């Protein structure tokens, strides 16, 4: 007691400053000590971003951090402060519209978060206080409260399990809302507690809150009378997480350890890093160009204004006031410059940002609505978690894919086993043994080979070395079991031995279910775990009972798991199963060779293999291991490292019994999907934690490696050949492979990457995790940089790359390495498990598969699809179309705004640079908001320049838009030149008309507002009809918005000019539009100028050689021509 108090006072050797002490039930411990309740946060969850009071200032601050919004705010303020030629409304109204739409959207999203928070915080929970069960709202919970949770309820905070209604002291939970895992997990109560929790006097010491869902370190001190407290270790198996659900357990009691924003669920609630698409970067680059054009125009006009004034006397009708004469000349020049900036600022399209956002948001629904993505097995379709990257799906150059569950189904079936080097293959009630089929029993005794004792020892190992739970079912509950098995991906199987019952297996891994079922085939049935006793039914129909002493859990570093059991005779056995690379070094080497051959053969056939070993423990060995394990489990600091050391110490000098082979079948259409993606010019890299032989066979089955493919292998096996040090051998192999794949490779045609060319020799590259670590972290920095460059160049010249034995972090490192390489290629990662999350988050685009390994990958992805085969349509059809649409949208927006402002600039040369607007303020405001916005939005949502079937059948079409082909500078300059040409035609065409002043029958002349209105009419009709010429896929929506926009412009012009508006100081357009249309000359010039502007486009369509709807002809044209034709009118007609 004294030592504990001193440790508590001075920190001790465990670093108590990093832990917290919790008083169970808020009782002082020991009872005679003064009790000062520690302060922790309450159980209130806050996921919202704003409050009623800070919404306006905080939201405005965030919106004006965007460069475009801030720029238009400055322009608006200049219009308000300085005497500018246009009304502040012209820039203020579009800005207000953009800000308001965004604020409403973000406010609505935050309101939904507030609503969800209220539901969680006001949820009623049951708490034990002084032996009484009371109800309170969830947000009122405090650390130390003892909480009661009933079946199917959600845990309101992070709890330590104290008591369960199940006899064995366990409970089952699902954590689907946390990590997406739909399988049932088993948790355990703290052992030897009072049955009546009212009399429990205990404290819990545990680590401070941290976000790792699978890690928890703590210990409980239980006080009884005046004795020294009993100490119990606490781990993840005792912790019930907020957000998880209680299943198959009537009720549990737990003590709250983390509440509110300190729960692991809340700590994991954080937004993913913002990913920016290549299109967004192009928009910013183009904006800089147009900003430069804007400043240049303002400078030119300001300079010429003062040059013109110096050569001309001040006109009598526009004399300067005394105040203007007294103004500083430089200040006047600066205000004139600002006035010209305001006059020309519409060349920067503020509404483009809104249109792009709407296009992305609405366009993402087409993925979710696509019926081809619906999977009848899980009754789900595709899911879009972010709409910001739709167009990036059309730019992918590298695909990084997981193997298990992505290329394969993660549906495990036991195929065969090997005992003492001899093969046992089950075939419909018989077993094939080394090629001989025997029918007199599930496992035949072959005296000169594996004896019956070894066979039974192996099968006992399969029945005991696992964490499988058996769910007994009744006839009434059979539907629930069938549902459970369907959810978990497991299965119920009729056991032929009595008692005849249906059994549902619950486990966190399908591998373990397959092995337990495999043992059932050969006569050994696992009956379940009851009160630390594991029961199995042997083939003699006798029930064997083993006391479960310890479970040495699986971890990805050791790559094995073990159990310690005690038989009825008192023998203590250690059974261990794991990957061959982790088992072979721990067993006697003379036993390895006879098993290795079978393991390698099974791996070559594409099966997942596990080796099985055992060890007899003497009483002394077990006592030492037991003491070391208990001590390590009580540690608060470095518990995992201490446990690992004990595990490795115990799992030595084992005896190898045999190995198992489990088949994981390929996903539907996996080979066809990979072929199509490679045909589209994408490089496919397989990143997996499996062994090389298994992964290699999967790559062959998927068609990533062909028979003629020469494999370049960089693994520990090749590094240890040659008798040199690993570092030296690594250097030699990299140079050798670089010479083969890069230096000696035939030259590639210009504009085509090597993966798209048909070369005489194909290479495949294989690397394992250990070799990759050497490449990425060489002892010398210069060597490391050199190795990385060599490695990347080799991989980029190979048709496919296989990275095996990869840790999750290494997967992300590979993606990052390629992503940051020369040319910044667009990367895509696809996976289905929690171990794929790191690479999904690292890649430009992350795809989650709704597979059997839970939904953590789906939750962290940008897009989620049910099966791998759906990736083909997602990229080749949706990605292609999204990119073409948004690229056209961006180029078109810059083009139509240049057409809009160029006549305004030219007009200054004819009005003495007086900043006189060419267009009425209403036209300036409505041009981008109403007159020209809807047609391009409809185009960017519905256009199909090539029909989807052709895109899917001709994957090579994907290459035509690669590397941001439609937003390159050449095409940008083409659109800019087109805008300048149209602007010149509009202005000087009308100027030519006005050379004859009498344009009306009564001899009246048109004024400057008539001039601007005619130019604006030609402008609106030309840019809208230009888009109509570009449209290849017409729907009723396209017709409605294109012809409707033109009709609305005409109606608005009549309406705006036909009424005297009392709020307008100057009625500039009063009957201007109606008078204009009364002139035959005006009608003629409008029609002629529209035809003249569109004539080059029409001639290109009419005179070019006709093309059918076959994409092959389009693919034969070179990249630039094809890209330009996509933007202009060189597309084949959509079918």
Which residues lie below 8 Å from residue 776, measured CB to CB, with a gap of 6+? 784, 787, 788, 813, 817
In the numeric block, the tokens 């298994």 are attached to 694
- Of 680, 694, 620, which Cα lies nearest the Cα of 650? 620
Catalytic residue among 402, 690, 768, 832: 402
CB atoms < 10 A from the CB of 849, how many?
A: 29
245-247 and 170-175 as β-strands: parallel, antiparallel, unpaired?
antiparallel
For the chain, the straight-line distance linking the first and the last C-alpha, in angstroms and rounded, comes to 85
Alpha carbon distance 587, 420 (integer Å): 13
Alpha carbon distance 273, 816 (integer Å): 14
* Residues 856, 268 contacting (CB under 8 angstroms): no
What is the gyration radius of the CA atoms in the chain, in angstroms? 37
CA distances from 659 to 452, 581, 584, 606, 954 (A): 16, 12, 11, 15, 45
Alpha carbon distance 1110, 718 (integer Å): 48
* Residues 929, 1110 contacting (CB under 8 angstroms): no
In the numeric block, the tokens 């070391």 are attached to 628
Which residues lie below 8 Å from residue 345, measured CB to CB, with a gap of 6+? 72, 75, 91, 294
Q: Is 402 noted as a catalytic residue in this protein?
A: yes
Residue 135 token pair: 């109800």
Segment holding 230, helix H or strand E:
strand 230-234
Alpha carbon 610 to chain centroid, angstroms: 32
Alpha carbon distance 220, 419 (integer Å): 44
In the numeric block, the tokens 């490779």 are attached to 745
Residues in the chain: 1135
Cis ω on the peptide bond leading into residue 499 (within 30° of 0)? yes
* Helix and strand numbers, DSSP H then E, in the chain: 38, 36
Q: Specify the DSSP class assigned to residue 272.
A: P
Q: Where are the beta strands (DSSP E) in 340-439?
A: 383-384, 398-401, 408-419, 422-427, 430-433, 436-438
3-state secondary structure of 474: coil
* Residues 647, 554 contacting (CB under 8 angstroms): no
Which residues lie below 8 Å from residue 1030, measured CB to CB, with a gap of 6+? 888, 892, 939, 1127, 1128, 1129
Q: Where are the beta strands (DSSP E) in 76-150?
A: 124-129, 132-137, 146-150
Q: How buried is 542 (Cβ within 10 angstroms: 0-12 exposed, 13-18 middle, 19+ buried)?
A: exposed
Alpha carbon distance 1067, 1051 (integer Å): 18
Residue 391 token pair: 């167009």
CB atoms < 10 A from the CB of 1059, how many?
A: 12
Query: 3-state SS of 1048-1101?
Result: HHHHHHHHHHCCCCCCCCCCCCCCHHHHHHCCHHHHHHHHHHHHHHHHHHHHHH
CA distances from 702 to 666, 679, 880 (A): 8, 14, 24
Residues annotated as catalytic are 402
């Amino acid at each position: 007691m004294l030592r504990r108090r001193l440790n508590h006072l001075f920190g001790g050797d465990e670093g108590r400053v990093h832990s917290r002490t919790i008083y169970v039930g808020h009782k002082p411990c020991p009872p005679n000590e003064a009790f000062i309740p520690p302060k922790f946060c309450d159980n209130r969850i806050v996921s919202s971003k704003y409050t009623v009071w800070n919404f306006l200032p905080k939201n405005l601050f965030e919106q004006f951090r965007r460069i475009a919004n801030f720029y238009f705010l400055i322009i608006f303020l200049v219009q308000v402060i300085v005497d500018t030629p246009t009304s502040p409304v012209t820039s203020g109204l579009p800005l207000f519209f953009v800000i308001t739409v965004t604020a409403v959207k973000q406010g609505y999203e935050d309101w939904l978060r507030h609503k969800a928070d209220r539901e969680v915080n006001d949820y009623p929970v049951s708490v034990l206080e002084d032996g009484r069960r009371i109800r309170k709202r969830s947000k009122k919970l405090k650390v130390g409260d003892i909480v009661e949770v009933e079946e199917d309820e959600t845990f309101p905070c992070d709890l330590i399990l104290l008591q369960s209604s199940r006899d064995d002291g366990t409970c089952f939970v699902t954590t689907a809302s946390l990590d997406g895992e739909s399988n049932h997990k088993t948790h355990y109560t703290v052992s030897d507690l009072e049955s009546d929790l009212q009399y429990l006097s205990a404290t819990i010491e545990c680590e401070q809150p941290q976000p790792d869902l699978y890690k928890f370190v703590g210990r409980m001190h239980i006080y009884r009378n005046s004795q020294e407290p009993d100490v119990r270790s606490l781990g993840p198996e005792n912790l019930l997480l907020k957000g998880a659900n209680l299943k198959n357990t009537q009720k549990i009691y737990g003590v709250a350890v983390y509440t509110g924003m300190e729960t692991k669920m809340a700590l994991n609630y954080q937004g993913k890093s913002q990913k920016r698409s290549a299109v967004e970067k192009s928009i910013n680059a183009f904006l800089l160009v147009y900003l430069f054009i804007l400043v240049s125009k303002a400078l030119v006009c300001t300079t010429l204004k003062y040059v013109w004034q110096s050569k001309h006397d001040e006109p009598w009708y526009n004399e300067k006031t005394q105040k203007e004469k007294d103004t500083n000349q430089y200040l006047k020049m600066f205000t004139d410059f600002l006035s010209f900036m305001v006059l020309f600022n519409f060349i920067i399209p503020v509404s483009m940002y809104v249109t792009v956002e709407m296009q992305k948001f609405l366009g993402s629904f087409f993925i979710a609505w696509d019926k081809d993505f619906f999977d009848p097995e899980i009754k789900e379709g595709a899911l879009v978690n972010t709409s910001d990257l739709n167009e990036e799906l059309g730019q992918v150059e590298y695909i990084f894919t997981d193997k298990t569950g992505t290329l394969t189904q993660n549906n495990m079936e036991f195929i065969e086993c090997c005992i003492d080097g001899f093969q046992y293959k089950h075939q419909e009630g018989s077993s094939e043994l080394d090629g001989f089929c025997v029918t007199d029993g599930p496992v035949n005794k072959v005296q000169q080979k594996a004896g019956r004792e070894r066979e039974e020892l192996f099968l006992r190992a399969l029945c005991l070395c696992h964490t499988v739970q058996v769910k007994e079912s009744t006839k009434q509950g059979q539907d629930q079991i069938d549902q459970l098995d369907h959810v978990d991906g497991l299965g119920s199987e009729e056991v032929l031995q009595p008692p005849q019952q249906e059994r549902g297996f619950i486990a966190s891994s399908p591998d373990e279910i397959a092995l337990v079922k495999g043992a059932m085939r050969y006569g050994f049935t696992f009956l379940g775990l009851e009160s630390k006793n594991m029961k199995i039914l042997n083939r003699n129909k006798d029930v064997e009972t083993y006391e479960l002493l310890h479970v040495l859990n699986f971890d990805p570093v050791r790559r094995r798991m073990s159990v310690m059991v005690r038989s009825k005779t008192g023998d203590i056995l250690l059974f261990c199963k794991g990957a061959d690379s982790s088992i072979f070094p721990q067993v006697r080497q003379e036993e390895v060779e006879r098993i290795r051959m079978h393991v390698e053969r099974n791996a070559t056939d594409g099966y997942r293999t596990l080796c099985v070993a055992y060890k007899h423990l003497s009483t002394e060995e077990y006592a030492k291991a037991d003491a070391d394990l208990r001590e390590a489990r009580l540690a608060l600091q470095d518990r995992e490292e201490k446990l690992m050391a004990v595990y490795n110490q115990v799992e030595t000098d084992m005896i190898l019994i045999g190995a198992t082979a489990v088949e994981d079948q390929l996903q539907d259409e996996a080979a066809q999907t990979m072929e199509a993606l490679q045909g589209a010019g994408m490089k496919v890299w397989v990143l997996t934690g499996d062994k090389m032989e298994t992964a290699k066979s999967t790559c062959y089955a998927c068609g990533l490696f062909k028979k003629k493919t020469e494999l370049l292998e960089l693994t520990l096996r090749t590094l240890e050949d040659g008798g040199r040090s690993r570092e030296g051998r690594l250097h030699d192999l990299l140079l050798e492979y670089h010479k083969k794949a890069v230096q000696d490779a035939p030259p590639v045609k210009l504009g085509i990457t090597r993966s798209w060319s048909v070369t005489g020799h194909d290479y495949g590259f294989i690397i394992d995790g250990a070799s990759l670590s050497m490449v990425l972290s060489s002892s010398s920095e210069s060597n490391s940089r050199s190795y990385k460059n060599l490695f990347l160049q080799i991989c980029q010249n190979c048709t496919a790359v296989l990275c095996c034995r990869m840790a999750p972090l290494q997967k992300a490192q590979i993606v990052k390495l390629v992503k940051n390489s020369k040319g910044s290629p667009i990367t895509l990662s696809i996976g289905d498990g929690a171990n794929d999350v790191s690479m999904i988050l690292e890649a430009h685009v992350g795809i989650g598969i709704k597979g059997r390994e839970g939904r953590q990958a789906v939750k962290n992805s940008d897009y989620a699809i049910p099966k791998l085969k759906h990736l083909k349509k997602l990229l080749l059809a949706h990605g292609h179309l999204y990119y073409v649409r948004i690229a056209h949208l961006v180029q078109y927006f810059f083009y139509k705004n240049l057409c809009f402002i160029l006549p305004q600039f030219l007009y200054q040369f004819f009005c003495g640079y007086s900043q006189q607007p060419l267009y009425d303020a209403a036209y300036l405001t409505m041009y981008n908001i109403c007159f020209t916005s809807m047609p391009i939005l409809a185009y960017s949502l519905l256009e199909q320049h090539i029909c989807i079937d052709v895109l899917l059948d001709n994957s090579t079409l994907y290459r035509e838009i690669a590397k941001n082909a439609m937003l390159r500078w050449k095409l940008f300059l083409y659109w800019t030149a087109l805008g300048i040409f149209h602007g010149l035609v509009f202005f000087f065409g009308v100027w030519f008309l006005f050379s004859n002043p009498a344009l009306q029958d009564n001899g009246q002349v048109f004024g400057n507002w008539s001039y601007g209105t005619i130019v604006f009419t030609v402008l609106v009709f030309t840019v809208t009809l230009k888009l109509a010429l570009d449209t290849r896929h017409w729907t009723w929506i396209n017709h409605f918005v294109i012809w409707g926009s033109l009709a609305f412009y005409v109606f608005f012009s009549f309406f705006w000019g036909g009424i005297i508006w009392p709020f307008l100081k100057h009625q500039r357009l009063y009957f201007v539009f109606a008078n204009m249309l009364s002139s035959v000359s005006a009608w003629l010039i409008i029609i002629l100028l529209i035809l003249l502007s569109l004539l080059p486009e029409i001639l290109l369509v009419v005179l070019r050689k006709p093309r059918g709807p076959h994409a092959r002809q389009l693919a034969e044209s070179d990249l630039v021509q094809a890209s330009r034709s996509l933007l202009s009118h060189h597309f084949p007609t959509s079918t």
